[in-house]
């Protein structure tokens, strides 16, 4: 029996909803806030900013990270920038334009009210981060500099060299560190969430595994925030950090939190192509490079001449040709598919013919070497370290790779999952990017959720719970979850099979990439859904984890994460199969127009698919949240 | 792509903090020169698992040289032979066939070994917690363009802020000092107008917390040479200057008796 979900969007005109909400929300008296314990899992942008702000307000906060330090979270790797509708350059930006660009960029598959709130608080984020000492790029007059990014025709992206994510995360981490020093936050590092506990349908706390000792312990709280990132590593090869995983979100899903739109994954167009089979990780080259780099492939098939020997008239600058008004700044999903088609047509470049050129020669000719070097030096150096080639002399080779996941735990307007008291923030939730995320919007969303949304919405939930008893860690539900977790991790060690967790992860990734990657077909997805359960069965009987479940065991950690990726992988394919349209990052070959562009079906699929756990990912129930658009016109998303 | 053959790895294995530890030798018969150093360890680990042995434990995450999780002394050099390159971005093309490569954890008394090549660097977090921030509670921040910051100032702050907190500076230092790390964190904030209010309190608190955990600086300069981000030794001079100023001149402004 499927249900229709209520996102609890406040009344009133779009631009007034958030103000209305904040006024209506129940408050907790400052003296009473310390009586409430809040658990925050994950210390990336969303988690660190939420934990710091909640502690500043006076709540008692426990923060958990599986890293050795909160400052390692993968937000740190974001390169290009963060969007905000400051309109500092007077080029026509506004809250409404950022809202519209994000809705359109998401191919009209996100919730209007959430996206508008995101655009509204975007300016506060920049103010806040500058006050904290984030050294954003400046112009000579001392004012903040901006650059443009894919999917927008205004310059609204703030940046700190090619390390914007690093600087923002350090800012949020410093605020968190301050609270740890003051005693407002207790930090549990090298601690991985292994289960979520609910009592009478409400969130009661979590169970974590200490990655140093292997000990499994329970932690109770009035509310739990999961800010645990995306699931891009389901593809095995991705630009995500090696340890990124879906376990926290998936364990919450198994305890009643619906999982929304798992098939919406973003394949980023500018990554360094795979060089050989031993590769375990792909490296992103910031999308900001497309500001000055021109994408091209040879016009002829199997043209093996070096780039410099291919004359202008034998080059196909395909993005400029196909999308003249956005050119090399066409959105990610569109650029990725165009690159795939160029390579599939036999015009790929590089030793394995698996890339396209990103060429800086015209920018160097136009702006001079020094200007181009100043803008991108750290990216150029990184590229050279990895490939041994100098991108100012020969074009970079790039190819799309799994990068970001728009899908995630379903949350309402308050960022609460379908489990009361369990919240989800940042990439781990599904809320703001629809079927495709625009560049420089992930950092914005993580900080928006953590700094400016959760601190308001959590109070509204907690206020009525004042002085009421809540279940402690001696509750039978906690004990049962601890026992199950112990059995689970002991189980991996006891299988005694023949293949490593990495082996299964790689095989799983191949299937997901081949059938649920940049282009999907019903036939391919059905094939994946036949192969995945068989491979999963093999995982359960032939896995080999050496060592024990006590002390440090990275092989065992990996086994638990791969297990959850298997279950998620099946759900991704089922979601992709049932969404019989193309939208954003979800491209079904059967649904395209005469020019090969995505063909949406607004009549039948203008909704969020929110999956409900039944005990087996192959039988999960597909629930819906209908999307209504009162403020934008559902248009064909054109970047021509 | 070319294959590198017959690499001998001498890897430090240590079962836990209390264990004495020892070197173990492993042969890598063939690896692509396109592979990264850590990918070579991945391949070796998969083989060890297939042989029923425990994989070598090492810290790593982003593999893009930005998260600072990876470490390793490679042939006695922090992050290996390539300049301004973290271990995760070190590629096998820097090595030749028949090489012997010695792989050890960071060695510093402030970074106890947890297992094999994994160490505990949380002393860095303790330094930040006492002052490595600007007190700016969420909400109420003024418009970001209210205080113009000259580009050279913002750039200099950014040069310091690039520190990834990997600990190579400590590992490379014969004294196990953390002056490069601490001074980079202090300089990032002390150079900005927003950081002035807490400048001297910050410097004193962080320097003194650093001294609780780490050795003393004797200006060897190994830290700068080992730093994957090229953090300059100059920041140590700036830190010492602010610390002295604070001790001599700012006692009253810090309302200390």
Nearest to B89 among A166, A386, A451 (CB): A386
Q: What is the mean pLDDT of residues A304-326?
A: 94
Task: Answer whether A249's CB lies under 8 Å from A428's CB.
Answer: yes
Instruction: Judge: A133–B66 Cβ closer than 8 Å, yes or no.
Output: no
Whether A213 and chain B come into contact, CB under 8 Å, resolves to: no
Q: How far apart are CA B135 and CA B194, in angstroms?
A: 9
Residue range A230-237: mean pLDDT, rounded = 96
Contact B133 A174 (CB under 8 A): yes
Mean pLDDT computed over B45-61: 97
- Report phi then psi at A183, rounded to 5: 90, 5
Q: Could you tell me the two tokens for A207?
A: 């169970």
pLDDT, mean of residues A488-512: 97
Please spell the DSSP secondary structure of A368-395, one letter per residue: -HHHHHHHHHHHHHHHHHHHS--TTTS-
What percentage of chain B has pLDDT greater than the value 70? 96
Work out the number of other CB atoms within 10 angstroms of the CB of residue A447. 32
Is B66's CB within 8 Å of A139's CB? Answer: no
Smallest CA-to-CA distance from B162 within B125, B190, B187 is with B187
| Identity of the residue in A189, A280, A388 whose CB atom sits nearest the CB atom of B39 | A280
CA angle A236–A207–A38, rounded 5-degree value = 105
Question: Could B42 and A280 be called an inter-chain contact, meaning their C-beta atoms sit closer than 8 Å?
Answer: yes
Length of chain A measured in residues = 640
Nearest to B65 by CA among B42, B88, B94: B88
What average pLDDT does this structure show over B36-41? 97
Q: Which residues of chain B have a CB within 8 Å of the CB of A126?
A: 144
Query: Closest Cα to residue B152, out of B191, B200, B122?
Result: B191
Candidates A590, A419, A569, A454; CA nearest to A519 is A590
Burial B194-219 (b: 16+ CB within 10 A, else e): bbeebbbbbbbbbbebbeebbbebee
b/e code A263-292 from CB counts within 10 Å (16+ = b): bbbbbbbbbbbbbeebbbbbbbbbbbbbbb
Is A168 at the interface with chain B, CB within 8 A? no
Give the span between the Cα atoms of A333 and A335, in whole angstroms.
6
Using a CB–CB cutoff of 8 Å, tell me whether A389 touches chain B. no
Cα–Cα dist A129/A431, whole Å: 23
CA B246 to chain centre: 27
Structure token digits, residue A157: 């992206």
Q: Residue range B32-52: average pLDDT?
A: 96
The alpha carbon torsion through A47, A49, A50, A56 (nearest 10 deg) reads 140
Pick the CATH number of A268-403 from 3.90.1300.10, 3.10.110.10, 3.90.700.10, 3.30.70.2500: 3.90.700.10
Give the residue carrying structure tokens 């490069």.
Answer: B180
Count of other CB atoms within 10 angstroms of residue A217: 16
Per-residue pLDDT, B257: 41
pLDDT for res B256: 52
Percentages (nearest 5) of helix, strand, coil residues in chain B: 35, 15, 50
Domain boundaries, chain A: 14-265+404-465, 268-403, 476-606
**A339-345 long-range Cβ contacts below 8 angstroms, 24+ apart:** A339/A269, A339/A295, A339/A398, A339/A399, A339/A400, A340/A400, A340/A518, A340/A519, A341/A596, A342/A297, A342/A316, A342/A318, A343/A297, A343/A399, A345/A301
Has A574 been annotated as catalytic? no
List the single residue in B66, B133, B158 with the smallest CB-CB distance to A76.
B66
CB A348 within 8 A of CB A169: no
Question: In whole angstroms, what is the distance from residue A543 CA to residue A492 CA?
Answer: 7
pLDDT band of residue B255 (cuts 50, 70, 90) is low
Tokens representing B254 are 């810090």
A332, A520, A579, A588: the active-site residue: A332
Helices (H), A107-189: 112-131, 164-182
Candidates B118, B128, B141; nearest CB to A552 = B118
- Two structure tokens written together for A506: 């790689």
**CA angle (A432, A434, A436) in 5-degree steps:** 110
Which residues have CB under 8 Å from B46's CB, separation 6+?
Answer: A500, A502, A503
The span from the CA of A131 to the CA of A120, in Å, is 19
In 3D space, the residue among A301, A306, A267, A293 whose CA is nearest the CA of residue A389 turns out to be A306
Tokens of A542: 């032939």
To the nearest 10°, report the CA torsion of B70, B76, B82, B84: 60
Judge whether A167 and A130 are in contact, CB under 8 Å.
no
Asked if the model's pLDDT at residue B20 lies above 70, the reply is: yes
Residues of B in contact with A451 (CB under 8 A): 138
Q: Which among A438, A364, A348, A390 has a CA at the least distance from the CA of A100?
A: A438
Contacts by residues A218-221 (CB-CB < 8 Å, ≥ 24 positions apart): A218/A473, A218/A478, A218/A479, A218/A481, A218/A482, A219/A39, A219/A62, A219/A64, A219/A473, A220/A37, A220/A470, A220/A471, A220/A472, A220/A473, A220/A475, A220/A478, A221/A37, A221/A38, A221/A39, A221/A62
Q: Token match 């000492």: residue? A: A133
Give yes or no for residue B70 having a pLDDT over 90: yes
> Is ipTM strictly over 0.95?
yes
Does the domain at A476-606 match CATH 3.30.70.20? Answer given as no
List all residues 6 or more positions away from A69 whose beta carbon is below 8 Å from its beta carbon: A189, B121, B122, B124, B125, B165
Q: How many residues does chain B have?
A: 257
C-alpha span between A247 and A253 (Å, rounded): 10
What is the model's pLDDT at position A288?
Answer: 84
* Cβ atoms of residues B158 and A160 within 8 Å: yes
Average pLDDT taken over every residue of chain A: 96
Are the beta carbons of A276 and B34 separated by less than 8 Å?
Answer: yes
State phi, psi for B247 to the nearest 5 degrees. Answer: -65, -40
Shortest Cα distance from A375 to chain B (angstroms)?
Answer: 13
Contact B192 A69 (CB under 8 A): no
Q: Which two tokens stand for residue A297?
A: 């492939």
The reply to whether A394 touches chain B by the CB within 8 Å rule is: no
User: Using a CB-CB distance cutoff of 8 angstroms, which residues of chain A are in contact with residue B55?
Assistant: 546-547, 554-555
Determine the Cα–Cα distance for residues B168 and B171; give it in Å rounded to an integer: 5
Distance in angstroms (rounded) separating the CA atoms of residues A584 and A107: 5
Which residues are registered as beta bridge partners of A621? A612
The domain limits of chain B are 4-115, 121-255
What tokens does A307 get?
């780039």
From 3.30.1300.10, 3.40.50.300, 1.10.1060.10, 1.10.274.10, which CATH number describes the B121-255 domain? 1.10.1060.10
Average pLDDT over residues A511-518: 96
Per CATH, the homologous superfamily of domain A14-265+404-465 is FAD/NAD(P)-binding domain (3.50.50.60)
Write down the mean pLDDT value for chain B.
Answer: 95
Tokens read off for A366: 């136009």
Structure tokens at A52: 């710091």
A131 has a chain B CB within 8 A of its CB: yes
> Other C-beta atoms within 10 Å of B83: how many?
12
pLDDT digits (tens, 9 = 90+) for B212-231: 999 999 999 999 999 999 99
Distance between CA atoms of residues A113 and A577, nearest Å: 28
- B81 Cα to chain A: minimum distance (Å): 13
Rounded to the nearest angstrom, the minimum Cα separation between A66 and chain B is 11
pLDDT per position as a tens digit, A113-145: 999 999 999 999 999 999 999 999 999 999 999
- pLDDT score of A112: 97
Query: Which of B39, B120, B131, B137 is best to mutate for the A interface (most A CBs within 10 A)?
Result: B137
**What is the predicted pLDDT for the residue at A151?**
76
**Residue B85 φ/ψ region, left for φ over 0, alpha for ψ in the -120 to 50 degree band, beta for the rest:** beta
| Rounded-to-integer distance, Cα A423 and Cα A420, Å | 8
Q: Chain B interface, mutation test: which of A49, A72, A545, most B Cβ atoms within 10 Å? A: A72
- Name A495's Cβ contacts closer than 8 Å, sequence gap at least 6: A540, A541, A542, A543, A544, A545
What pTM did the predictor assign? 0.97
Task: Could you please state the CATH topology (level 3) that the domain comprising B4-115 is classified under.
Answer: Ubiquitin-like (UB roll) (3.10.20)
pLDDT, tens digit, for every residue of A1-41?
Answer: 688 899 999 999 999 999 999 999 999 999 999 999 999 99
Q: Quick count: other Cβ atoms within 10 Å of Cβ B52? A: 10
Average pLDDT over residues B151-176: 98
Q: What are phi and psi of A140, to 5 degrees?
A: -65, -30
């Amino acid at each position: 029996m499927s249900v229709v979900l209520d996102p609890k969007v406040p009344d009133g005109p779009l631009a007034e909803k958030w103000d209305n909400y904040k006024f209506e929300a129940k408050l907790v008296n400052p003296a009473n806030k310390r009586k409430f314990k809040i658990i925050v899992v994950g210390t990336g942008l969303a988690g660190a900013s939420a934990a710091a702000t909640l502690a500043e307000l006076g709540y008692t906060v426990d923060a958990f990270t599986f890293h050795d330090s909160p400052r390692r979270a993968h937000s740190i790797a974001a390169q290009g920038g963060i969007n905000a509708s400051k309109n500092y350059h007077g080029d026509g930006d506004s809250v409404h334009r950022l809202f519209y660009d994000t809705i359109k960029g998401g191919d009209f598959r996100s919730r209007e009210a959430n996206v508008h709130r995101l655009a509204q608080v975007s300016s506060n984020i920049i103010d806040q981060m500058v006050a904290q000492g984030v050294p954003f790029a400046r112009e000579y007059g001392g004012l903040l500099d901006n650059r443009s990014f894919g999917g927008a025709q205004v310059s609204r992206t703030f940046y700190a060299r090619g390390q914007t994510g690093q600087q923002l995360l350090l800012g949020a981490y410093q605020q968190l560190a301050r609270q740890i020093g003051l005693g407002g936050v207790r930090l549990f590092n090298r601690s991985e969430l292994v289960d979520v506990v609910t009592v009478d349908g409400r969130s009661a706390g979590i169970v974590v595994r200490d990655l140093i000792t292997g000990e499994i312990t329970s932690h109770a709280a009035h509310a739990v925030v999961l800010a645990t990132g995306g699931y891009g590593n389901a593809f095995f090869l991705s630009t995500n950090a090696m340890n990124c995983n879906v376990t926290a979100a998936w364990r919450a899903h198994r305890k009643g939190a619906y999982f929304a739109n798992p098939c919406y994954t973003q394949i980023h167009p500018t990554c360094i192509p795979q060089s050989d089979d031993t590769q375990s990780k792909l490296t992103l080259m910031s999308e900001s490079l497309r500001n000055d780099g021109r994408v091209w492939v040879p016009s002829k098939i199997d043209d093996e001449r070096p780039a410099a020997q291919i004359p202008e008239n034998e080059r196909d600058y395909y993005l400029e040709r196909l999308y003249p008004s956005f050119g090399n700044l066409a959105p990610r999903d569109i650029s990725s598919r165009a690159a795939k088609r160029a390579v599939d047509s036999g015009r790929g470049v590089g030793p394995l013919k698996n890339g396209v050129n990103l060429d800086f020669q015209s920018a160097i000719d136009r702006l001079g070497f020094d200007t181009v070097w100043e803008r991108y030096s750290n990216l150029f150096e990184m590229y050279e370290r990895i490939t041994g080639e100098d991108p100012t002399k020969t074009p970079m080779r790039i190819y799309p790779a799994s990068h970001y996941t728009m899908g995630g735990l379903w949350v309402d307007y308050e960022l609460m999952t379908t489990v009361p008291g369990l919240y989800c923030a940042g990439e781990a939730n599904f809320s703001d990017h629809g079927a495709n995320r625009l560049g420089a919007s992930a950092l914005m969303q993580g900080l928006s959720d953590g700094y400016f949304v959760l601190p308001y919405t959590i109070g509204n939930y907690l206020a009525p719970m004042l002085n009421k008893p809540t279940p402690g860690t001696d509750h039978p539900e906690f004990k049962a979850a601890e026992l199950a977790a112990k059995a689970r991790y002991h189980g991996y060690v006891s299988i005694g099979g023949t293949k490593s967790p990495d082996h299964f992860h790689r095989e799983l990734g191949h299937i997901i990439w081949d059938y649920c990657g940049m282009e999907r077909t019903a036939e391919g997805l059905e094939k994946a859904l036949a192969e995945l359960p068989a491979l999963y069965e093999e995982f359960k009987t032939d896995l080999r984890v050496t060592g024990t479940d006590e002390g440090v065991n990275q092989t065992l950690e990996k086994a638990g994460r791969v297990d959850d990726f298997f279950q998620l992988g099946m759900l991704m394919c089922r979601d992709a199969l049932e969404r019989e349209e193309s939208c954003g990052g979800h491209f079904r070959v059967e649904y395209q127009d005469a020019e090969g562009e995505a063909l949406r079906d607004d009549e039948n699929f203008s909704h969020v698919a929110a999956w409900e756990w039944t005990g087996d990912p192959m039988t999960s129930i597909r629930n819906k949240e209908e999307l209504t658009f009162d403020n934008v016109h559902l248009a064909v998303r054109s970047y021509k | 792509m070319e294959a590198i053959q017959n690499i001998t790895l001498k890897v430090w294995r240590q079962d836990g903090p209390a264990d004495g530890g020892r070197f173990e030798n492993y042969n890598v018969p063939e690896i692509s020169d396109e592979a990264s150093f850590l990918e070579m360890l991945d391949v070796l680990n998969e083989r060890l698992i297939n042989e029923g042995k425990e994989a070598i434990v090492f810290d790593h995450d982003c593999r893009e040289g930005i998260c600072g999780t990876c470490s390793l002394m490679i042939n006695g050099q922090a992050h290996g032979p390539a300049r301004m390159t973290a271990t995760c971005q070190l590629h096998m093309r820097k090595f030749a066939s028949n090489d012997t490569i010695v792989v050890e954890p960071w060695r510093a008394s402030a970074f106890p070994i947890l297992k094999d090549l994994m160490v505990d660097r949380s002393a860095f977090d303790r330094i930040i917690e006492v002052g490595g921030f600007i007190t700016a509670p969420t909400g109420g921040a003024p418009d970001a363009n209210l205080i113009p910051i000259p580009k050279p100032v913002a750039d200099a702050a950014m040069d310091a802020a690039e520190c990834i907190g990997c600990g190579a500076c400590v590992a490379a230092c014969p004294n196990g000092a953390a002056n490069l790390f601490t001074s980079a964190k202090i300089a990032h904030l002390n150079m900005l107008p927003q950081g002035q209010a807490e400048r001297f309190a910050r410097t004193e608190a962080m320097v003194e917390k650093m001294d609780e955990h780490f050795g003393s600086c004797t200006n060897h300069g190994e830290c700068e040479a080992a730093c994957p981000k090229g953090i300059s030794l100059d920041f140590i001079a700036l830190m010492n200057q602010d610390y002295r100023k604070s001790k001599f001149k700012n006692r009253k402004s810090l309302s200390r008796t």
